A and B are shown apart, each in its own frame.
Chain A
Amino acid sequence: MSLFFIVALPFFGALLPGLMNAAGRSATAGVTFTVTLAAFIGLLTNLPAILAGDVVMARVDWMPALGLNFTLMLDSLGFFFALLILGIGLLIIAYARQYLSSKDHMGEFFTYLLLFQGAMVGIVLSDNILLLLIFWELTSLSSFLLIGYWKHLPEGRQGARMALTVTGMGGLAMIGGMLILGQIVGSYDLSVILQNRELIQADPLYVPALILILLGCFTKSAQFPFHFWLPHAMAAPTPVSAYLHSATMVKAGIFLMARMWPVLSGTPEWFVIVTSAGLITMVLGAVIALFKHDLKALLAFSTVSHLGLITMLLGTGTAFGAMAAVFHILNHATFKAALFMSAGIIDHEAHTRDIRRLGGLRTLMPITFMIVSLAALSMAGIPLLNGFLSKEMMLEEANHTVLFNSPWLVPVLATFGSLFSAAYCFRLIGHVFFGPVRDDYPAKPHDPGAGLWLPPALLIIPVVVIGVAPFVAEPFVKLVTASVLGSAAEMPSAHLKIWHGLVPALYMSIIAVVGGLVMLAIFTPALRIWENTPRPEAKVIFETIVEAAAKLAQALILPLHNGAFSRYAAVGTITIVVAGYYAWTTGTIGAPTHALQPADPVLISGWGMLVAATIGMVFLHRNRFLSLILIGIVGLMVSIGFVFLSAPDLAMTQFTVEVVTIILMLLALNFLPNRTPIESSVLRRVRDVGVAAAGGLASFALAYHYMLRDPVASSISEFHLANSYKGGGGTNVVNVILVDFRGFDTFGEIIVLSIAALLIYALTETLLGGPVGAKLLNRRPDQPRAGDMHPMMMVVLTRGMMPVVMMVGFYIFLSGHNEPGGGFIAGLIVSIGMVMQYMASGFSWASARLKYPYHGVIGAGVLVAGFTGIGSWFVDKPFLTSDFTYVRIPPFEKFELATAALFDVGVFLSVVGAVMLSLESFSRLARRADAPQVLHPMDIDPSREDLKEGV
């Protein structure tokens, strides 16, 4: 099966459990099992190629410019891990079906599980390291969901958070490391990177890249000093612990170290960091595990310890170490998953995982006893079980490892770790299963149904088979080792066998096992010493650090971000000015290239009005009516300025928008307080003046200086000017830019405008439906109303004007491509004509004559513009490519037909719709209970009694 399917199956399959949830628990588990089985079989179809030593590749270019390609690679290492992930996944699914109670939402659980499974398979099959990073982050996220699956448990939530924080931070570091690696090699494909050992190790950035990548691996695989999150993640349901924390997720870091082994290993930095981190983790984990009373905590720390062992083996950088590591990954996955599942069984049946409350289960749970004993003895390193073989190889390797110039440091510590490892395994068997049968178990323990014990029992088969006949596993282990080694080292000649003769490793093994038994015998006094020894509590430290970080963030943010808008405005202004000032003082500025142009007296007088109106706003803003007039003056003067400065299109737009804005304000200000009270103290106003002056001064300086100089880089304006007619078919360059060169931007802009209008409509609609609507309906206006609501003169004039306005709008629209005008301006003009009808004849009269709702007009506009753009796809051109031609229909002159004109129709329609919908929404607010609803063509004063008869 194609690699794409193997990776994609769990992801697509993740949709199914949620859907199947209603069909029952078995159906949900069944569909999950089927999906995993399909992926598993798909993986096995690639087995012949793997056995032949081939590497299966699959590739789709995604963003080749960024080096991001969807490239998958399956070699024996990836196959090995994928086999563990999917194979143990199958057992876990069967186990979880029985384990989860009817109160647990099974669809949710299996959805998360499949997401996680897909992400894990993605990691081990990725060829592109950027893709690998994406899957890496996905495992962090999905494991967060799985660990916190029991949302009602605070430990679950805290454990999930801690796991996400630690592994997430490691993931961020790894992104940095991978990017450096990609930069060094010039490719993000693993298959290329793995060929460039010398190049990478000679690069000065090798050490930073190594440290960053190792941070990612160590956090994921719970290596010292990041080991503390794993035991807390044990608050998860047992199937999750068995899956994530024995066989898969925590192995992701190991996998990556093995994957990168050919290029990263072999240097002193790699050796010291990886070996010592692994060694410390191994010893520390084993010691802590012995003194844990919670079964899962004991197993968690033993996992930490064994991961340390594998890390140390990879750290030594020898081919033999790599082979031992691969072998131990396999062995550990089998016995540890079985142990976790058995711990779940004990918890499930005895309702406790506390070793102190257990004991004597040997006769009560014989099947579980068998499974746990074999798995634990294997973990302790007892011959004829698989754990013994890889532990021997580890001790052998430790014997040859010289760390910090000391030939005895590693062997002694490795023996010490093995001793404690044997001790906790013996304790696990002895304190749980041996001893007298008790009468105070929380529940009566007995062996569970086959659904629960069969999955761990199946895992015991390889434990024993490999233990008795190691040569069965040898070809596979060597195959995987070959792909770990790559071209960096020769395959070791050693064989997997039980008897190596009287070598030092054997003595070390014997010391460990005997020492472990002694340790168990003196467990009670040892525990007392351990409990009286002060030691740092990782969770407390972690939480202190997190809290300190949160406090620091608050201390930084709260003064700036205290919820008062005026403070944001002040801080924002000051920051911009300071940044600009810094740029001004540190940058260089050339001499002016333009002379000042003389100012026209007319311009100066207009300027004077504008300045006066602006300053007037500052002093007179408390009077809303005066403010309105001043705003009108500002807008009009700006539009005259545009006329003067060769921007006729802008002048027309500014003018029409100004009219619409004033109408809008007239409508809204009616409902807002008449006068603005003085709320600010003198001091505050002085501060405001200071901030405002700084902002004004900075804008002045910016505008003044750039107006006197040419642009630093050549402008694309020249291109627009030169191609407007030849390329766009229009002589009005501004319009051609809008509907042609920058048509896509314009398309976005009309959508934004439309959304704003629809939001305004929605906000007024919900407002009118609520209590505010009732208040508005019965409000008493604060100003006297005109007796003549719809003056005759105005009614007659506006109705007569309507066709004229429409024609002007039409003309402006048509001529827009060649003369000043276009869809925006025409839309605004037509809107004004229509608003005039509302103003003169009343809301009811005007809306009764409205054939099309404005929402429809907006939608039609956006659709017309959009379809015009899509139309170019049919001639294999990109979105919104324009075309034009000239036609001549006698007796008219030759005229132009352009697709851009059709696009402009869309612009026109959405502008009309958006402006009218906003204005209409505001005017709906003005309805009052006592306001007459006039629907007939003409009225003078509807409140006059004598007229009411004739209605």
Chain B
Amino acid sequence: MEQILSVLIGILVASAVYLMLARNLLRFLFGLILLSNAANLTIFVAGRLTPGAPPLVPDGMDAPVGVVANALPQALVLTAIVIGFGLFAFALILAFRAYQSLGTLNTDEMRVAEPKEN
């Protein structure tokens, strides 16, 4: 299970980086989504893999019994997912604005602040 998950992370990162290396903003945004998934998974698996044992305290007990999943990365990733949404929505509106105001999605052509030197 560990090997397929790490391969998955590798593929997600590679695809995300490939998409983000482009000059097209939309492609960059797609890459951003993949990258945030990859990052979330990487943090999550840092808690190691414990299938079938969610971190819940059984009724009548003071603490979980036996080995349960690591709760801390889960809490970290939970907020990361929500913040990731905020980040993505913000990036999307920036891309949208740039496209509507400048008429292009190509980052190399967006040269309002730094006009091309000739």
Contacts and interface: CB of A to CB of B under 8 A. Distances in A.
Interface stretch (A13-21, A80-88, A323-331, A746-754): A746-754
A631 B34 CA distance: 8
A745 B75 CA distance: 11
A69 B40 CA distance: 43
Contacts of A654: 40, 81
Interface string A801-837: 0000000000000000011100010001000000000
Interface string A341-365: 0000000000000000000000000
B23 A679 contact: yes
Nearest to B88: A661
B70 A566 contact: no
A598 B3 CA distance: 10
Given A646-B68, A653-B81, A676-B24, A725 B63 contact: yes
Given A732-B56, A733-B56, A820-B54, A566 B78 contact: no
Contact of B2 (A597, A610, A925): A597
Contacts of B44: 642, 645, 647, 650
A649 B74 contact: yes
B78 to A, nearest CB: 5
Given A618-B15, A738-B75, A704 B6 contact: yes
Contact of A722 (B22, B63, B97): B63
Interface in A683-729: 688-689, 691-693, 695-704, 706-708, 710, 715-717, 720-722, 724-726
B114 A737 contact: no
Classify the interface of chain A: helix, strand, loop or mixed.
helix
A499 interface: no
B79 A610 contact: no
Contacts of A631: 30, 33
Contacts of B61: 725
Classify the interface of chain B: helix, strand, loop or mixed.
helix
B26 A673 contact: yes
Contacts of B70: 715, 717
B53 A671 contact: no
A649 B44 CA distance: 12
A623 to B, nearest CB: 11
Given A647-B44, A657-B82, A696-B11, A679 B75 contact: no
Interface string B106-118: 1110010010000
Contacts of B89: 664, 756-757, 760, 918, 922
A703 B10 contact: yes
Contact of B9 (A645, A699, A753): A699
Contacts of A724: 57, 63, 71
Interface residues of A, number: 116
Contacts of B68: 646, 721, 733
Chain B interface residue bracket vs A: 35 or more
B11 A617 contact: no
Interface in B19-47: 19-24, 26-28, 30, 33-34, 37-38, 40-42, 44-47
Given A696-B11, A737-B75, A772-B101, A757 B22 contact: no
Interface stretch (A302-310, A465-473, A599-607): A599-607
A828 B78 CA distance: 12
Contact of B75 (A594, A734, A753): A734
A928 B76 CA distance: 41
B26 A564 contact: no
Given A668-B96, A673-B105, A598 B10 contact: no
Given A668-B92, A699-B13, 12 more contacts: A565-B107, A600-B51, A634-B37, A661-B88, A671-B99, A672-B96, A680-B23, A707-B48, A732-B57, A752-B86, A753-B82, A759-B90
Interface of A: 563-566, 569-570, 573, 594, 596-600, 603-604, 607, 610-611, 614-615, 617-618, 621, 624, 627, 631, 634-635, 638, 641-642, 644-650, 653-654, 657, 660-661, 664-665, 668, 671-673, 676-677, 679-680, 688-689, 691-693, 695-704, 706-708, 710, 715-717, 720-722, 724-726, 730-734, 737-738, 742, 745-746, 749, 752-753, 756-757, 759-760, 763-764, 767, 772, 775-776, 818-820, 824, 828, 911, 914-915, 918, 921-922, 925
6 contacts: A648-B54, A691-B17, A692-B21, A701-B6, A717-B70, A820-B56
Rank and list the top 6 A-B pairs by shortest CB-CB distance, nearest first: A696-B14, A700-B10, A704-B6, A692-B18, A646-B69, A756-B86
